[in-house]
A and B are shown apart, each in its own frame.
Chain A
Amino acid sequence: MKRVNFFYSTKLTFDDYVHNHSFALRVIPPETDTQHILSCSLNIAPYIPTKQTVDAFGNNVTAGYMRDDHRFLDFEIKGSAQVNHNKRRTDYMPCYLYQSQYTKPDNGLKTFYESIKKKCTGTVAEKAEYICNILSGTVEYEKGFTDTTTTAEQAFALKKGVCQDFSHILISLLRMEGIPARYIAGLAFCDGETHSWVEYWTGDHWEGIDPANNCPVNDDYIVISQGRDFRDCAIDRGVMFGKYTKQLQLVRSEMT
C-alpha cells in the first residue's frame, strides 16, 4: 500500500480560432478496489461548464462544449490516491476476450503466436509472463516510429514501438491464447507522459503487467482509464470547427 500524489496536464493550442468545439476527456482516475482516490481536482481553461458520466468500461468522462471562438484548451488534474495492488479488481466484461480494432492480428502476428504457443503453458499468470517476456525480446522500445493510430499488427511488423504498441501486441497475443485482456492508460513513476500497460484476467480477478518495461504492475501505477484498446481510453477526444484546426499538444505528468 502506498500513498501517491499525481499531476497531469495537457495544453492544446490551435493555429487559429476554433468554435463549436465538443470534447470528451477521460482524465479523472476512477475509484477502484486497488486505488482509493483521496482527492482529485480537474481544471479546464478557458472556463466552461462540464458534465460527468461514467462510460461502459468504468471510466470517468468529462464532456464539454465551447460555442465561442477560442485558441486553446488546457486541462489538468491534480490529486492523491491510496494505491494497493494486493486488493483485487473483479470488474469483468466478456468483450475483453475478443479482438478489437487495434488488436486484430494479421498473418504476421498470428504466425508469431503459433510459434510461441507450444511453450506457453502453466497458469494464466505464467502464460502472461511468458508471452510478455518473449515480446520484450522481440520488439524494441523506440520512439518516433509509431503514433496513436498504429495497430498491434503494424507495430509488430516494425518490431518497434512505445508503451501503447507493446500493450496492443500483448493484448492481441493474450486474446489469441484465450486470456481476456484489457488496455490501461495511466500514470507511472517512470514516465513524464502518460503510460500504458495491460491487465489480464486470471479467471477470478485482474492482474497488471507492464509490457514496455516487462515487469509486473505495483503500487507505483495509477489507472486513468481502461478499455478494449487505446480507442476506449483516449485521454482527450474532440471535434471543432475553424479555418485551421491544427493543434500543438503539450503533455506533462508527475507522480510523487
Chain B
Amino acid sequence: MTQQVQFTKAVGNASEINELLRRYGVKFGIYKNGVFNEQFFPFDPIPRVITAEDFQSMEKGLAQRVKALNEFLFDIYHEKKIVHDGIIPEDFIYISKGYLAECEGITPKNNVYSHISGIDLVQAKNGEWYILEDNLRIPSGASYPLIARDLTRIAAPQAFEENPIIDNRGYAELLKETMENVNCGGARAILTPGRYNAAYFEHSYLAELTDSVLVQNDELFVEDNILYYHTYSGGKSRIGVLYRRIADEYLDPLTFLPESLIGIPNLMEAYRSGNVGIINAPGNGVADDKGIYYFVPKMIKYYLGEEPILKNAPTYLPFYEEDMKYVMEHLDKLVIKDVAEAGGYGVVFGSKLTKEKLEEFRKTIIAEPRRFIAQEVIDFLDLPIIEDNETVMRKADLRAFVLSGAETKVWASGLTRFSRNPDSFVVNSSQGGGFKDTWVLSR
C-alpha cells in the first residue's frame, strides 16, 4: 500500500489528466433504455501496479489459457475430440449461442481463432489472481490505458523517470504483428459499425496506431470471393486482414442475420476460401460462453497436458446434480450469472435479493439449469481511487490483453476497471465504472 501512495503522489491530481482526456475525446458510448449516450469514461490517476514477479507468473498463466482456448476452438469446429472423449458434455457446445454451425470446417490462417483475447482477472485479498471470464469475440478497452499513459506522461513525466515501468506503447506493434500473421494478402483494415458504437473512439485510435484503414461496411464488397474496399479514385483495393468490431451475427447477411445492415455480403465466402483473415474468428463465442468457462482448466489439461497456472473463481454448474444441490443450499451467498448475457448484465448476487426474489430465482434456476453458472464471491483486493480529493477504496478488476500471432504474447499493461459505487462488484464500463492505467514493473 505504501507503494500505491507513492504512485498517487507521483501522478498528482486526476483533474489535469481527465481534462486532457476530455480534450482528446476519449469517450465511451452507452445504451440505456434505447437511448444512446456518449459518456466520458472517468479516469483515476492512481495506477494499478503489478510487480515484475507477479507479472511473470500471470503472463505464463494467461498465455497457457489462451493457447488452450485456441486449441479448443479448432477442435470444436473440426473433430470435436474433447466432446467425444467426454471432457465437455455435448449440450454445452451446441446450446451455446456462440457456437456457429456455419463455421464448421473453416480453418483460419495459421489455426488462430482468438487473435485478441481480453481475459478478466481479479486479485483476492490474499494476493492470488483469479480468472473471472474470457472475452474472445471482440474484447474492447486496450486503447484506454494507452491514451491515459500518453497523457500521464505529459502531466507527470517524473513518475516515469523514477519508476521502472514497462512502456505499454508496444501494443501497436503487437497488434500489427498479430494482424500480419493472418494477412492473406492486402491491406490491414478495421471494420467499425460507425460512430454510434460504444467503442468508436477505440476503433479509430487503433486504426491510426496500426496503420490500418478504418472502414464501414458500405465501403467494402466481396468480388470473386476477395474482399475489397472502394478507393477514392473509384477503383478497388484488396483487404488481406479485417479486424472487425461488429458481432458475428451481423458480419455477413448472406450467411447470418439477413436483416443485418452493417455486414458485408459474402464475407464468409471470402473467409472460407482463405482470401481474408478475420480477427477474431467468427464462432469464438462458443469458447467464452460463461457455461464453457467452467471447463477451461480441463481444456488446459486436455490439450496441453499441463496444470492450469491461473485459477478459475470457484464455479458451480447447476447442470450437474451435485452442483445444483450446493447452489440451492448456498444461493444467498453466491453470485449467479446468466450465460447468455454480457457486459455486466445478468449478474445477480444472492445476498442482494429479498427472500421472495430469492425463491423466485431458485425456481428459474431449477427450470433452466443450463442457463446459469454460480460462483463464490471472491473477496477482492480493493484499490485506492481518488474521489473529491480523498482516497477511497473500490472494487476493481483487470482486463489483460493476450495477442496470438506467431507466438502468444501478453501485453505488459491492461485495463483496470473499478466500480464507482462502493457497494458494487460490477466494474464494466457499460455499467458506469471508471478505469485506471496498469503499470507493470520491469524489476
A and B: interacting chains = yes
Q: Which of A194-220 contact B (CB under 8 A)?
A: none
Q: Is B221's CB within 8 Å of the partner chain A?
A: yes
The answer, among A22, A57, A97, for a CB contact under 8 Å with B254, is: A22
**CA–CA, A182 and B93, complex, Å:** 19
Q: Is B19's CB within 8 Å of the partner chain A?
A: no
Instruction: Provide the residues of chain B in CB contact with A65, threshold 8 Å.
Output: 221-224, 265-266
Q: Is B346's CB within 8 Å of the partner chain A?
A: no
A56 & B269 in contact (Cβ 8 Å cutoff): no
The answer, among A56, A67, A228, for a CB contact under 8 Å with B103, is: A56
The answer, among B102, B224, B253, B265, for a CB contact under 8 Å with A55, is: B102
B104 & A22 in contact (Cβ 8 Å cutoff): no
**CA–CA, A239 and B259, complex, Å:** 10
Q: How far is the CB of A151 from chain B (nearest CB, A)?
A: 14
Q: Is B35's CB within 8 Å of the partner chain A?
A: no
Q: Is A72's CB within 8 Å of the partner chain B?
A: no
Q: How far is the CB of A236 from chain B (nearest CB, A)?
A: 10
Q: How far is the CB of A156 from chain B (nearest CB, A)?
A: 22
A228 & B101 in contact (Cβ 8 Å cutoff): yes
Q: Is A53's CB within 8 Å of the partner chain B?
A: yes
**CA–CA, A237 and B102, complex, Å:** 15
Known A-B contacts A20-B221, A22-B265, A95-B94; A237 and B258 likewise in contact (beta carbons under 8 Å): yes
Q: Kindly state the interface size class of chain B when it binds its partner.
A: 20 to 34
B254 & A51 in contact (Cβ 8 Å cutoff): no
Q: How far is the CB of A198 from chain B (nearest CB, A)?
A: 17
Instruction: Provide the residues of chain B in CB contact with A24, threshold 8 Å.
Output: 254-255, 265-266, 269
Instruction: Provide the residues of chain A in CB contact with B221, threshold 8 Å.
Output: 20, 22, 65, 67
A94 & B225 in contact (Cβ 8 Å cutoff): no
B94 & A53 in contact (Cβ 8 Å cutoff): no
**CA–CA, A23 and B258, complex, Å:** 12
Q: How far is the CB of A150 from chain B (nearest CB, A)?
A: 15
- The interface bits of chain B over 300-323 (1 if a CB of A lies within 8 angstroms of the residue's CB, else 0) are 000000000000000000000000
The answer, among B83, B105, B222, B258, for a CB contact under 8 Å with A56, is: B105
| A231 to chain B: closest residue by CB | B258
* Total chain A interface residues with beta-carbon distance under 8 A: 24
- The interface bits of chain A over 47-70 (1 if a CB of B lies within 8 angstroms of the residue's CB, else 0) are 001010101110001010101000
Q: Is B82's CB within 8 Å of the partner chain A?
A: no
The answer, among B95, B101, B222, for a CB contact under 8 Å with A22, is: B222
| B253 to chain A: closest residue by CB | A239
**CA–CA, A94 and B92, complex, Å:** 12
Known A-B contacts A53-B225, A239-B254; A93 and B101 likewise in contact (beta carbons under 8 Å): yes
Q: Is A238's CB within 8 Å of the partner chain B?
A: yes
Q: Is A98's CB within 8 Å of the partner chain B?
A: yes
Instruction: Provide the residues of chain B in CB contact with A239, threshold 8 Å.
Output: 253-254, 265
Q: Which of A1-60 contact B (CB under 8 A)?
A: 20, 22-24, 49, 51, 53, 55-57
- The interface bits of chain A over 78-113 (1 if a CB of B lies within 8 angstroms of the residue's CB, else 0) are 000000000000000111011000000000000000
The answer, among A22, A56, A238, for a CB contact under 8 Å with B102, is: A56
Known A-B contacts A22-B222, A239-B253; A51 and B273 likewise in contact (beta carbons under 8 Å): yes
Instruction: Provide the residues of chain A in CB contact with B83, threshold 8 Å.
Output: 94
Q: How far is the CB of B91 from chain A (nearest CB, A)?
A: 8
A95 & B101 in contact (Cβ 8 Å cutoff): yes
Q: Which of B80-134 contact A (CB under 8 A)?
A: 80, 83, 90, 93-95, 99, 101-106
Q: How far is the CB of B302 from chain A (nearest CB, A)?
A: 18
**CA–CA, A52 and B133, complex, Å:** 39
Q: Is B272's CB within 8 Å of the partner chain A?
A: yes
Q: Which of B221-248 contact A (CB under 8 A)?
A: 221-225
A63 & B269 in contact (Cβ 8 Å cutoff): yes
Known A-B contacts A65-B223, A94-B90; A53 and B254 likewise in contact (beta carbons under 8 Å): no
Instruction: Provide the residues of chain A in CB contact with B223, threshold 8 Å.
Output: 65, 67
The answer, among B102, B265, B273, for a CB contact under 8 Å with A53, is: B273
Known A-B contacts A98-B95, A237-B254; A51 and B269 likewise in contact (beta carbons under 8 Å): yes
Q: Which of A222-256 contact B (CB under 8 A)?
A: 228, 232, 237-239
Q: How far is the CB of A227 from chain B (nearest CB, A)?
A: 8
**CA–CA, A20 and B93, complex, Å:** 37
Q: How far is the CB of B319 from chain A (nearest CB, A)?
A: 15
| B106 to chain A: closest residue by CB | A56
A98 & B254 in contact (Cβ 8 Å cutoff): no
**CA–CA, A185 and B129, complex, Å:** 53
**CA–CA, A55 and B102, complex, Å:** 7
Instruction: Provide the residues of chain A in CB contact with B90, threshold 8 Å.
Output: 94
Instruction: Provide the residues of chain A in CB contact with B80, threshold 8 Å.
Output: 94
A56 & B225 in contact (Cβ 8 Å cutoff): no
Q: How far is the CB of A58 from chain B (nearest CB, A)?
A: 9
22 contacts between A and B (CB under 8 A): A22-B265, A22-B266, A24-B254, A24-B269, A49-B224, A51-B224, A53-B272, A57-B104, A63-B266, A65-B221, A67-B223, A93-B101, A93-B104, A95-B94, A95-B99, A95-B104, A228-B101, A237-B253, A237-B254, A238-B265, A239-B254, A239-B265
Residues on B lying within 8 angstroms of A by beta carbon are: 80, 83, 90, 93-95, 99, 101-106, 221-225, 253-255, 258, 265-266, 269, 272-273
Given A23-B254, A239-B254, 18 additional A-B pairs, CB 8 A: A24-B265, A24-B266, A24-B269, A53-B225, A55-B272, A56-B101, A56-B103, A61-B269, A63-B225, A65-B222, A67-B221, A67-B223, A93-B101, A98-B95, A232-B101, A237-B253, A237-B254, A238-B265
10 closest Cβ contacts across the A-B interface? A22-B265, A56-B104, A51-B225, A95-B101, A65-B223, A24-B254, A239-B265, A63-B269, A98-B94, A237-B254
